C-alpha cells in the first residue's frame, strides 16, 4: 500500500483497440492529476491531489460521504474545472466534457419514450450517424451487457438492474476511453449488484476501457478495483493507494471467498473505522 502524498465491439469493430490483450496496458497512463485543487466559492474541497491511472485499469474510489469522490469524477468528466494544478486525459488538459469520457450515474436517466435500442444509440444519432449503423451498435452493446432480448422494450418494462445495464450500454456506445461510474449499483439488490459487478469486469476484459468507480461498499471496491484509493480528507492531498491482488479470472464470483479478498476487506474496514 502506498500512502500518496500528492504525487502523479462486434465489440472488436466498435472498439478497434480491443482484443485478448487489451485489458491492461502496463505503462500508459491515460489519466493524470498533478497537484489538483478544487474549491467551491472559495471553500477548498481538495488540494494538491496527484495520481495517475493506467489505460485499462479499474480504480475504486472509497471514502466517507462528502470527502470528494464525485468531485474527482466531475473534474475528470470536465463538468468542473480544477482551480489549481492540472488534470489530464490522454496527455491533454481537461477543458470540458468530451466523448472520450462517459459517466454512469447512480440511477440511469433513460429517455422513457425511447426503446432500449434508441436509448443506447442516442449519442450516435445526435452525431448524425446512419440509422442502420445506430441499430448495429445498439445490438452489439445490448449483447455486451446481456440485454439482447429486451432491445425493443421501453424503460418502464425493465427492472432496476436492466435499466442500469442500458445506462452502461449507452455510455459504451460512445466508445469512451474512460468510464466514470458514480455508485452505479447502489440502488440495486445484492444479487443483481454482484452480477453487474462481474459484468463490468467482463466488459473491461473485452474492450480494455479504463474505469474510475465510486462506491461506499468495501466489497464492491475490492472486487472491482485493480487499485483502491481510500480517501478521507482531500484537503491535505494525501490518500491511501492500495493495490488489489486477486486471482484471475477477476470476474469469478469465487474471488469474493478468496483469502486475499477477505484480508483486504478487513484491512480497509479497520482503516475506515479508525
Q: Which stretch binds ligand ATP (CB under 6 A): 63-71, 93-101, 184-192, 259-267?
A: 63-71
Chain positions 21 to 60 lying near ligand ATP, rule: CB under 6 A, are 40, 45
Enclosing H/E stretch for 271: helix 259-273
Q: What is the DSSP letter of 18?
A: -
Say how many residues touch Mg ion, by CB under 5 A: 1
Chain positions 42 to 71 lying near Mg ion, rule: CB under 5 A, are 70
Given strand 84-89, what is the order of strands in its sheet? 43-54, 29-40, 84-89, 92-93
Say how many residues touch ligand ATP, by CB under 6 A: 10
CA-derived radius of gyration, the chain: 18
Please say which residue, 66 or 99, places its beta carbon nearer to ligand ATP. 66
C-alpha–C-alpha distance, residues 179 and 119, integer Å: 18
Q: Which of Mg ion, ligand ATP, none does 65 bind, CB closer than 5 to 8 A by kind?
A: ligand ATP
Q: Which residue is nearest to Mg ion (CB)?
A: 70
Q: Which residues contact 179 (CB under 8 A, 6 or more apart)?
A: 101, 102, 103, 104, 171, 172, 209, 210, 211, 212
Q: Which residues contact 134 (CB under 8 A, 6 or more apart)?
A: 117, 121, 124, 125
Chain positions 149 to 188 lying near ligand ATP, rule: CB under 6 A, are none
Cα–Cα separations (whole angstroms), residue 237 to 1, 18, 50, 169, 243: 16, 34, 8, 34, 19
Enclosing H/E stretch for 85: strand 84-89
Among 5, 16, 19, 66, binds ligand ATP (CB under 6 A): 66
Q: Which stretch binds ligand ATP (CB under 6 A): 4-12, 64-72, 196-204, 261-269?
A: 64-72
Please say which residue, 70 or 123, places its beta carbon nearer to Mg ion. 70
Annotate each residue in 113-142 with x if it binds ligand ATP (CB under 6 A) or - if it does not, as one string.
------------------------------
Q: Which residues contact 191 (CB under 8 A, 6 or more apart)?
A: none
Please say which residue, 61 or 205, places its beta carbon nearer to Mg ion. 61
The torsion angles phi and psi of 102, rounded to 5 degrees, stand at -125, 145
| Minimum distance from residue 178 beta carbon to Mg ion (Å) | 18
Cβ atoms of residues 211 and 178 within 8 Å: yes
Annotate each residue in 69-88 with x if it binds ligand ATP (CB under 6 A) or - if it does not, as one string.
xxx-----------------
Among 9, 36, 62, 67, binds ligand ATP (CB under 6 A): 67
Residues near Mg ion (CB under 5 A) are 70
Contact set with ligand ATP (CB under 6 A): 40, 45, 63, 65-71
Amino acid at each position: 500500500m502506498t500512502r500518496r502524498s500528492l504525487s502523479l465491439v462486434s465489440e472488436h469493430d466498435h472498439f478497434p483497440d480491443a482484443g485478448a490483450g487489451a485489458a491492461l496496458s502496463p505503462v500508459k497512463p491515460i489519466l493524470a492529476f498533478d497537484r489538483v485543487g478544487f474549491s467551491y466559492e472559495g471553500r477548498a474541497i481538495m488540494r494538491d491531489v496527484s495520481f495517475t491511472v493506467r489505460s485499462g485499469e479499474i480504480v475504486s474510489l472509497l471514502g466517507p460521504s462528502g470527502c470528494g469522490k464525485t468531485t474527482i469524477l466531475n473534474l475528470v468528466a470536465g463538468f468542473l474545472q480544477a482551480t489549481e494544478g492540472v488534470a489530464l486525459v490522454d496527455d491533454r488538459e481537461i477543458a470540458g466534457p468530451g466523448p472520450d469520457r462517459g459517466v454512469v450515474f447512480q440511477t440511469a436517466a433513460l429517455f422513457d419514450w425511447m426503446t432500449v435500442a434508441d436509448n443506447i444509440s442516442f449519442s450516435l444519432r445526435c452525431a448524425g450517424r446512419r440509422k442502420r449503423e445506430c441499430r448495429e451498435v445498439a445490438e452489439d452493446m445490448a449483447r455486451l451487457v446481456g440485454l439482447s432480448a429486451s432491445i425493443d422494450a421501453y424503460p418502464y418494462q425493465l427492472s432496476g438492474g436492466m435499466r442500469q445495464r442500458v445506462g452502461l450500454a449507452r455510455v459504451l456506445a460512445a466508445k469512451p476511453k474512460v468510464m466514470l461510474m458514480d455508485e452505479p449499483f447502489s440502488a440495486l439488490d445484492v444479487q443483481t449488484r454482484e452480477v453487474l459487478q462481474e459484468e463490468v469486469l467482463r466488459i473491461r476484459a473485452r474492450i480494455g476501457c479504463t474505469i474510475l468507480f465510486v462506491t461506499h461498499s468495501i466489497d464492491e471496491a475490492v472486487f472491482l478495483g485493480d487499485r483502491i484509493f481510500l480517501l478521507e480528507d482531500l484537503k491535505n492531498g494525501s490518500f491511501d493507494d492500495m493495490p488489489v491482488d486477486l486471482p484471475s479470472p477477476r470476474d469469478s464470483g469465487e474471488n469474493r471467498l478468496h483469502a486475499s479478498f477477505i484480508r483486504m476487506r478487513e484491512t480497509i474496514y479497520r482503516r475506515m473505522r479508525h
